[in-house]
Amino acid sequence: MSGSQAAYAAVDLSVKLGTLELAYPTLMGSGCYGSGEEFAPFADPAKIGGVVLKSVTQRPRLGNRAPRLVATPSGMLNAIGLQNPGIDWYLEHDLAERVPRPWKTIGSVAGFSVDEYAYVTQRLAAQPEIDAIELNVSCPNVAAEGETFACDPKLTGRVVRLVRDTTEKTLIVKLSPNVTDIAAVAREAEDAGADALAVINTVRGMAIDVDTWRPRLGNVTGGLSGPAIRPIAVLAVYEVACAVKIPIVGQGGIETVTDALEFFLAGATAVSIGTANFIDPRIPERIVEGLRAYLGERGLLSIGQIVGQANRGFAGAHRCEGREG
Amino acid sequence: MLTNQMPTAVHATTVLDRTEPAPGIVLLGFYAPELAAVTRPGQFLMAIPPGGERTATALGIYEAQDHRVAVLFFVCGPRTRELAGLRAGDGLEVTGPLGNGFDLSGSPRDVAVVAGGIGIASLLLPVQALIASSARVRLYYGARSAALLVERDRFAAEGCEIYCATDDGSYGRRGFVTGLLAGAEPRPDLVLACGPTPMLRATAAACSALGIPAQLSLEETFACGVGGCWGCVVPIDRNSAQAPRFPGPDEGGSDTVNARVCKEGPVFWAHELRW
Ligand SMILES: Cc1cc2nc3c(=O)[nH]c(=O)nc-3n(C[C@H](O)[C@H](O)[C@H](O)COP(=O)(O)OP(=O)(O)OC[C@H]3O[C@@H](n4cnc5c(N)ncnc54)[C@H](O)[C@@H]3O)c2cc1C
Ligand SMILES: Cc1cc2nc3c(=O)[nH]c(=O)nc-3n(C[C@H](O)[C@H](O)[C@H](O)COP(=O)(O)O)c2cc1C
Ligand code: FES
């Protein structure tokens, strides 16, 4: 091992979200990584910080009809519609048969009422296999109610407050970009007891087939992900970082270490990788190695040293107030 | 369908040969002995974009013998254009084999294989397997025009009888390939089909009318290709052996369940589809 490689190996990539300790600051995005087992044969499970499981609801959901996916420039639209077997079946089968892995497992909860969120969180968080909970209050692909939670700061606050009482485990609240003031929603979630915020879920979008004159998704509208939304996501992280003190999990179109670095510099403590796994499931581990090399080359000892650095030291119109250190 | 119990892996391969059997159709062979050894008829692979495209591309495994695997594809967009740019000696990473193949376990004696256009790419391996087991194989092959009826000689050399149809009448019978199937005498005891969805629906209807069991290899837009995103579904009977486990009607589920084309498929029994 050369001197520089030894220095890189000493770089600390571990991070904490509430009480959740991650060996690497990389989560696999909910809905993009199944239970993790689908990808385990092609990726190195020891180089993944955590896997956010597919969102689960109280009742079984068949999901939207096909087509559920459309490729778009620099991204894709999806409208899966939260297909899942419901919490009872999920705990009895999917979770019970889970293979132990070195990564941290984060359960994702979706719902259509405040009570549903609280009920499902309580059941899921009680499982020893679950290390933390992500609240998907921002799914754009289900009939109206789904996303309205994350679009209304007060409603977000109500959901988070009720859910907070059901578990001690780290609670990550996933925010929607489809709002006028994401910082306001972020502040409500923080005040209500969230331990961390996931920023952002997909951006609403639509594609139309010019031969058939019909929408290309069975659900008509969908959620846009991939590099197409990255600048939107970087700005959202930057704005949220200015507004709250709790850690942020940045996501939206991360494919390379450079993309990930943008999010850390904007104020994210960890990042999440979703759509990029559809190019190549080894992208997350390459990002981890890339982060190590980037920090090592600069003589930095930990990932924490770059978090939020884009918010410091300039006096432009958007200078970030209220977040120090 | 036979379930995929074979080791699936990312294979780093090298392109061995590249030909264009028709304008816009590319046959790409590459060095992949481990993949060739475990591939079963009807399985597919995901080609990892070699040059910066956005997602991996699902391609049926056309040939798998000794050290060589080949794919046959229609250049229709950015990803297939990128793959078409590969030359002998270039590297290509592929994930596979994926999906469940055709179920040939019932020792069928007389099989009709129905191909629509580039759907032919998933049908050589089952044809070879059937002929190796001494079954009679009739290939019903349709395309838009004569030039697109690629690889006919190859299938003839394998020993199957070939009946063609073209939309423009430039070769074989004018019209749809399903028209040929309806007149097949004597009736085959099994139908295997791959092609565009309208053709598969017509094949399913024809087989249902004739009382012949049919296995269809479906196409959907894929993202992950490995069962992780639930983006590629088709509704099927929840009592199908292929149905993903899901609560039944009594537990709040329903009679049909959305199965993943990439994981539970891509081959399904026609009578179990609820599309
Ligand atoms: C299991 C499975 C196996 C497959 N096997 C093969 C195979 O062996 N050979 C092969 O050529 N393709 C195969 N396909 C289809 C192939 O994956 C798609 O054609 C793929 O979308 C091409 O990507 P692209 O980026 O080049 O084009 P895209 O940008 O995805 O598509 C470009 C345009 O072409 C249209 N289009 C897509 N596919 C076709 C098609 N087959 N015919 C006509 N128009 C089309 C699209 O609607 C779009 O308008 C398979 C698909 C699946 C799911
Ligand atoms: C196919 C697909 C399914 C998704 N399903 C979910 C889901 O069930 N719950 C959720 O919170 N987010 C879901 N997402 C959103 C992702 O987790 C992620 O937040 C978003 O796609 C942005 O990141 P990316 O560009 O890296 O994919 C889904 C995204 C995709 C592409
Ligand atoms: S393409 Fe992801 S589940 Fe089939």
Q: What is the pLDDT of residue A3?
A: 54
Other CB atoms closer than 10 Å to residue A33's CB: what's the count? 29
Hey, what are B91's tokens? 């590297």
Q: What is the pLDDT of residue A7?
A: 64
Q: What is the pLDDT of residue A6?
A: 63
Q: Is the pLDDT of residue A325 over 60?
A: no
Nearest CA in chain A to B221: A69
Q: What is the pLDDT of residue B4?
A: 52
CB-nearest partner of A32 from B220, B221, B228:
B228
Alpha helices in chain B (DSSP H): 33-38, 78-84, 124-132, 152-158, 177-182, 197-210
Per-residue confidence band for A152, with pLDDT thresholds at 50, 70 and 90: confident
Q: Which residues numbered 188-247 in B keep a CB inside 8 Å of some CB on A?
A: 220-235, 245-247
Q: What is the pLDDT of residue B254?
A: 86
Nearest CA in chain B to A35: B228
Give catalytic status of residue A151 as yes or no.
no
Residue B232 CB less than 6 A away from ligand 3: yes
Which residue ranges form the domains of chain B, and what is each CATH number? 9-98 (2.40.30.10), 110-219 (3.40.50.80)
Q: pLDDT (tens digit, 9 = 90+) per residue, A110-134? A: 998 889 999 999 999 999 999 999 9
Which residue ranges form the domains of chain A, and what is each CATH number? 3-306 (3.20.20.70)
Low-confidence stretches of chain B (pLDDT < 50) are none
Closest ligand 2 atom to the C-alpha of B231? 1
Which residue do the tokens 């990539």 mark?
A13
- Alpha carbons within 13 angstroms on the beta-carbon side of residue A130 total 28
Q: What is the pLDDT of residue B5?
A: 52
Q: Is the pLDDT of residue A56 over 60?
A: yes
Mean pLDDT of A177-206: 96
Residue A170 CB less than 6 A away from ligand 2: no
The Cα of B247 is separated from the nearest Cα of chain A by a number of Å equal to 6
Q: What 3-state DSSP class applies to B103?
A: coil
**Annotated active-site residue in A139, A151, A242, A320:** A139
The CA distance from A244 to A91, in Å, is: 34
Q: Is ipTM > 0.85 here?
A: yes
The CA distance from B140 to B159, in Å, is: 14
Residue A287 CB less than 6 A away from ligand 2: no
**DSSP states of B208-272:** HHHT--EEEE-----SSSSSSS--SEEEEETTSTTSPP---GGGT--SEEEEETTTT-BEEEGGG
Residue B260 CB less than 6 A away from ligand 3: yes
Q: Does A92 touch chain B (CB under 8 A)?
A: no
Q: At what angle do helices A230-243 and A257-266 cross, to 10 degrees?
A: 30
Q: A219: alpha, beta or left, given left = phi > 0 and alpha = psi -120 to 50?
A: alpha
Q: What is the pLDDT of residue A316?
A: 47
